[in-house]
């Protein structure tokens, strides 16, 4: 039984014994810092079942707890608030149980039989990954790690949008203007090379539109009649008909893109357990459409198109099959979701990491799957997130104004180098060590800046602001971790290596800063569960910042090694620092961020 459960039981027992009354629940809150105490019982709600003065009721319950609950050492009552002081021994018992746990707070996965599949990234194969993809990947990867840390088995996946008019535009532009260029001949990553031809297509398309308008066509007609667009549409029809030459070109250019993506994923520090491809899944949903027609979930129009009527649920009618029998995105997504549960029978829920412009699509998708009779539909979740803006404005892929993910990763390392050199923090490092550290700091800054914000909120990303060694930033937390490692190395040296193995006496009297730090550590397992339930890495990020602030206050107020003659206090404070360091490392691992051993 945890402390709050113990207090809940004991407060109810006190009310029963003292007032012959029964409480359904007890309201707790953290004690305000200006009062002595660790946890506060709010007396006012009890007045519904107990008649009397709230201060006197608080006094009576407080005395009962001191007499009957070992963990309670004292109390005070302020108006209708009973502030309870918890014994130092309780905190030291907790600490002794956790101090050597390098995985503190993190549950082993697969404690539950049903797994969760988390989908993220899911790019188009006509361009490199950009800043928007970066937020998607960081969110999806972190949520997967957090859910895993909460005790569930997790599969990481993506569906690659490898077919459609977008890739045909790049293919056609390469045929026309590429002169046989390859990643090898140009020295470009494959995704960048293909992306250049997507931009080239748009440039040529605009030229043709302008020419047709000058010849007398309306702009709307010119956009439809531009010859280059007609050729791209014809190429898509040839692809769908299985034309060998078009398929070969498609496979070659997609192959270039996949190699490029893999480099970016590696540099970004994300991975996947399984991949799905739209070219293989876009027809998957047809059999379920037929099944839905038989069961009355769908209805067929006179022209042969198939629809799902969701007006009773406050939505609209949604097409799931065109009149010519071809699939739409909804058909594909229905089939893919069901196929995933066939491929992985232990999957009992899915998380889709997709921007908030698709909110309506996923409402419809989840409702249709539920109507088709799949129980796991109730465990489908759309991890909806806002756009990432830059000080310079909105990004546009067709015009080539996006912030390329690879360039951003390099820029972050360069910014970390610039600021680190200004601060003079890296004396004694080799050039190789410096470059590795710049990458760690830069990528940590990027990830933390994005993940500390609630996913639903839009972000204005400023690289320079994110690489700051003060405030709520990744580098500030990384620096605190490195400082702790320095303290531990010094302690091991001065105390002949025995400091980590020595036990801490439970008779030790705790300083307020020590107790506050332990209380913050106690929250970590609960924060992981809350972050998993809410699909929010921001809860982990901001908890870690609060922990680091608490540790820095502890560090500034109390001597840890030098100047402290109390050996028991030294052992405790060094071990407490170690547990804080492990917790920072574990928390940052859930965000996909590495921590340096020295800075």
Domain ranges of the chain: 3-86, 164-269, 286-326, 414-590
Per-residue pLDDT at 285 exceeds 90 = no
Confidence of residue 491 (pLDDT cuts 50, 70, 90): confident
318 has a pLDDT exceeding 90: yes
Q: How confident is the model at residue 349 (pLDDT cuts 50, 70, 90)?
A: very high
Compute the distance between CA of residue 136 and CA of residue 570 in angstroms, rounded to an integer: 44
Nearest to 590 by CA among 203, 139, 209, 198: 139
Strands (E), 325-482: 347-355, 380-385, 388-389, 459-460
Order of all β-strands in the sheet with 81-86: 28-30, 39-42, 81-86, 72-78
pLDDT value at residue 162:
93
Indicate the CATH number for domain 3-86: 3.30.1360.70
Cα separation, 149 vs 528, whole angstroms: 7
Provide the strand spans (E) within 291-402: 299-300, 306-309, 317-321, 347-355, 380-385, 388-389
- Which region among 134-138, 194-198, 285-289 has the lowest average model confidence (pLDDT)? 285-289
Residues 305-309 have a mean pLDDT of 96
CA 133 and chain centroid, separation: 13
What's the confidence (pLDDT) of residue 502? 73
Mean pLDDT, residues 355-383: 96
Q: What pLDDT is attached to residue 280?
A: 87
Band of pLDDT at residue 561, cut at 50, 70 and 90: low
**Mean pLDDT, range 266-270, rounded to an integer:** 97
pLDDT (mean) for 505-530:
93
Arithmetic mean of pLDDT, 533-552: 97
> In the structure, what pLDDT confidence band is assigned to residue 175 with cuts at 50, 70 and 90?
very high
Global pTM value: 0.91
Model confidence at 399, pLDDT cuts 50, 70, 90, reads: very low
pLDDT attached to residue 112: 64
Average the pLDDT over 10-17 and give the result: 97
pLDDT of residue 89: 93
The whole-chain average pLDDT of the chain stands at 91
User: 370 near 138, Cβ under 8 Å?
Assistant: no
* Interval 96-125 mean pLDDT: 86
Instruction: Pick 414-590's CATH classification: 1.10.3720.10, 3.50.30.10, 1.10.730.10, 3.30.43.10.
Output: 1.10.730.10
What value does the mean pLDDT take over residues 461-490? 89
Range 170-196 average pLDDT? 97
Of the candidates 583, 598, 467, the residue with the CA atom closest to the CA atom of residue 526: 583
- Three-state DSSP at 330 gives helix
CA separation for the pair 489, 527 (Å, rounded): 30
* Longest distance between any two alpha carbons in the chain, whole Å: 95
421-447 pLDDT per residue, tens: 777 667 778 889 889 999 999 999 999
């Amino acid at each position: 039984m945890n402390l709050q459960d113990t207090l809940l039981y004991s407060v109810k027992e006190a009310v029963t014994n003292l007032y012959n009354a029964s409480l359904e629940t007890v309201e707790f809150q953290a004690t305000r810092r200006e009062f002595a105490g660790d946890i506060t019982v709010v007396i006012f709600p009890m007045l519904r079942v107990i008649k009397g003065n709230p201060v006197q009721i608080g006094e009576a319950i407080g005395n009962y707890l001191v007499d009957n609950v070992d963990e309670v050492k004292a109390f005070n009552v302020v108006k209708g608030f009973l502030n309870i002081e918890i014994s130092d021994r309780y905190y030291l018992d907790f600490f002794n149980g956790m101090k050597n746990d390098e995985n503190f707070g993190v549950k082993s996965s697969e404690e539950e039989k049903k797994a969760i599949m988390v989908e993220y990234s899911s790019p188009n194969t006509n361009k490199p990954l950009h800043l928007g993809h970066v937020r998607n990947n960081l969110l999806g990867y972190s949520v997967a790690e957090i859910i895993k840390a909460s005790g569930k088995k997790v599969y990481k996946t993506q569906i690659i949008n490898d077919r459609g008019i977008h890739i045909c535009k790049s293919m056609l532009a390469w045929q026309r203007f590429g002169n046989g260029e390859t990643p090898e001949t140009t020295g470009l990553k494959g995704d960048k090379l293909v992306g250049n031809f997507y931009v080239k297509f748009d440039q040529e398309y605009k030229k043709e539109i302008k020419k047709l308008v000058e010849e007398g066509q309306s702009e709307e007609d010119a956009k439809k009649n531009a010859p280059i667009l007609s050729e791209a549409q014809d190429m898509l029809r040839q692809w769908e008909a299985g034309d060998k030459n078009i398929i070969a070109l498609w496979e070659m250019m997609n192959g270039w893109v996949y190699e490029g993506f893999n480099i970016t994923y590696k540099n970004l520090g994300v991975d996947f357990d399984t991949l799905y491809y739209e070219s293989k899944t876009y027809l998957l949903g047809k059999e379920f459409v037929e099944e839905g027609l038989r069961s009355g979930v769908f209805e067929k129009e006179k022209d042969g198109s198939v629809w799902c009527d969701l007006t009773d649920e406050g939505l609209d009618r949604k097409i799931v099959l065109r009149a010519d029998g071809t699939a739409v995105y909804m058909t594909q997504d229905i089939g893919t979701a069901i196929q995933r549960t066939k491929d992985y029978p232990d999957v009992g829920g899915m998380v889709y990491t997709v921007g908030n412009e698709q909110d309506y699509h996923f409402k419809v998708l989840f409702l249709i799957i539920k109507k088709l009779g799949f129980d796991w539909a109730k465990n489908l979740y759309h991890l909806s997130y806002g756009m990432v803006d830059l000080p310079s404005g909105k990004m546009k892929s067709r015009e080539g104004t996006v912030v390329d993910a690879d360039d951003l990763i390099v820029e972050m390392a360069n910014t970390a180098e610039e600021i680190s050199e200004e601060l003079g923090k890296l004396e004694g490092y080799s050039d190789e060590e410096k470059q590795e550290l710049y990458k760690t700091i830069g990528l940590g800054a990027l990830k933390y800046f994005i993940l500390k914000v609630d996913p639903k909120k839009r972000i204005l990303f400023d690289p320079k602001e994110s690489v700051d060694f003060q405030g709520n930033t990744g580098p500030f937390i990384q620096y605190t971790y490195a400082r702790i490692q320095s303290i531990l190395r010094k302690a091991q040296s001065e105390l002949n290596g025995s400091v980590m193995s020595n036990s801490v006496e439970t008779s030790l009297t705790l300083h307020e800063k020590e107790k506050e730090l332990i209380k913050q550590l106690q929250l970590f397992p609960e924060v992981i569960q809350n972050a998993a339930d809410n699909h929010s890495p921001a809860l982990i990020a901001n908890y870690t910042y609060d922990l680091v602030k608490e540790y820095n206050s502890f560090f500034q107020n109390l001597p840890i090694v030098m100047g402290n003659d109390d050996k028991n206090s030294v052992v405790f404070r060094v071990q407490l620092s170690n547990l804080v360091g492990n917790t920072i490392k574990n928390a940052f691992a859930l965000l996909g961020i590495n921590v340096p051993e020295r800075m």
